[in-house]
Amino acid sequence: MRCLLIWLALAINAGVPVLAAESGYPSRSMRFIVPYPPGGGTDLIARVLGAKLSERLGVSVVIDNRGGGNGVIATAMAARSAPDGYTFVIINSSFVAMPLLNKGLPYDPNKDFRPVIRPAESPNIVVARASFGAKSIGELVAMAKAQPGKLTFAEAGFGGPSHLAAELFSYVTGVKMTRISYKGTGPATTDMLGGHVDLMFASITGVLTHVRANKLRGLAVTGLKRSPAMPDVPTVAEAGLPGYEFVSWYGILLPAGTPDPILARLHDEVLKILQQDEVRKVLAAEGGQVITDGPEAFARYVASETRKWAKIIAAMNIEAVR
């Protein structure tokens, strides 16, 4: 795990020192890569921040949704981008899980990026199709134990938050469920609404509207505290599983070699955006909580999360993709 701390020691790339002196940065449109289709929590946070960045910087910030490969394709694209500050990527919890679950990544998560800021986190929510028989976590566990492997859960990306949250639930409770894979929260939610899959451990931002409209049933949130976005929904711990907690987090990365002044400018602009009451209210209404970890704190957090999930994935015996 020591390699993660390389983030803290990256020097300015010798081939691009002139960029650091570019007084007009940014002078053209910027690309904000989202490794998932529209409709999930990662996409929502990117769109909120992208719109505000465009206002503050006076240039277009294009949201580039690149779903597929469980986020790997788009993350690799970001790693290969020019380190000039005009392309950056938003990641989520899957960033630390993918190296543990995929032995053939086309990028090095420890060396190919510079951390900018961890802007937010959010608990997930256990949702069921509207006609599902169980109305509580207790009933869900009893049903799953009575019918091992029969219940299905939607996974919006292997190694992603919805997958890890469900696997952790199975590990803590001892139940067996069948995983159904999707390319993002949007497609998974569509099948949930159609009644084609039983459960999803979804990002709150991706399903909140449907829960409020009673098109999906919210059974519990996965954090230790209830979400202000849906205060009537209990936590999984309140439902009788005190050993269970899962929180999705998000972060912004630049390609390795991006000069310090450019990284600092992007960090400072996003930080100012996150301090706006309007933005905080928008994220809170969708189940998100502002964090504002800067580059060093973000790097330490990723190192800690990697250590934690290495132990959990080994204990859950989730098979890695090779």
Residue 15: predicted pLDDT:
37
Distances (CA, A) of 300 to 3, 8, 110, 126, 210: 11, 9, 12, 29, 36
Is 122-221 a domain of CATH 3.40.190.10?
yes
> pTM of this prediction?
0.84
In contact, 151 and 237? CB cutoff 8 Å: no
* Residues whose CB falls within 8 Å of the CB of residue 262, separated by 6 or more in sequence, listed in order: 19, 20, 22, 25, 84, 85, 254
* Ordered per-residue pLDDT tens for the chain, 322 residues: 444 433 433 333 333 333 433 568 999 999 999 998 887 788 999 999 999 999 999 999 999 999 888 889 999 999 999 999 999 999 999 999 999 988 889 999 999 999 999 999 999 999 999 999 999 999 999 999 999 999 999 998 888 889 999 999 998 999 999 999 987 788 899 999 999 999 999 988 889 899 999 999 999 999 999 998 899 999 999 988 988 999 999 999 999 999 999 999 999 999 999 999 999 999 998 888 999 999 999 999 999 999 988 988 888 888 765 5
CATH topology assigned to domain 2-11+28-121+249-316: D-Maltodextrin-Binding Protein; domain 2 (3.40.190)
Is the link from the previous residue into 259 a cis peptide, with omega within 30 of 0? no
CA 319 – CA 315 distance, rounded (Å): 11
Q: Encode burial over 243-255: b for 16+ CB neighbours within 10 A, e otherwise.
A: ebbbbbbbbbbbb
**Nearest residue to 116 via CA among 304, 316, 266:** 266
Query: What residue segments make up the domains of the chain, in order of their start?
Result: 2-11+28-121+249-316, 122-221
Distances (CA, A) of 217 to 9, 56, 120, 193: 47, 39, 25, 10
Half-sphere exposure of 315 (CA within 13 A, CB side): 14
